[in-house]
């Protein structure tokens, strides 16, 4: 994993990696980290929530 979430690469994903974090509900934050919930759902969360 070499800097997957930096620079131009962000522009390739829909909405350029930004959205509302499902955990902290902060809007227009970059959702860069995949997070698997207990129900095996894959969510994208912001950097603040990646440790949870």
User: What is the binding site for Zn ion (CB under 5 A)?
Assistant: 21, 23-24, 46, 48-49
Q: Which residue is nearest to Zn ion (CB)?
A: 21
Minimum gap (Å) between residue 52 Cβ and Zn ion: 8
- Choose between 9 and 24: whose C-beta lies nearer to Zn ion: 24
Residue 37 or residue 48: which is nearer to Zn ion going by CB? Answer: 48
DSSP state of 27: T
Question: What is the CB neighbour count within 10 angstroms for residue 10?
Answer: 15
Residues 6+ apart with CB under 8 A from 15: none
């Amino acid at each position: 994993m070499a800097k997957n979430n930096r620079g131009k690469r962000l522009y390739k994903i829909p909405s350029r990696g930004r959205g509302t974090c499902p955990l902290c509900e902060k809007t227009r934050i970059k959702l860069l980290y995949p997070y698997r919930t207990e129900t095996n759902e894959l969510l994208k969360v912001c950097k603040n929530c990646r440790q949870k």
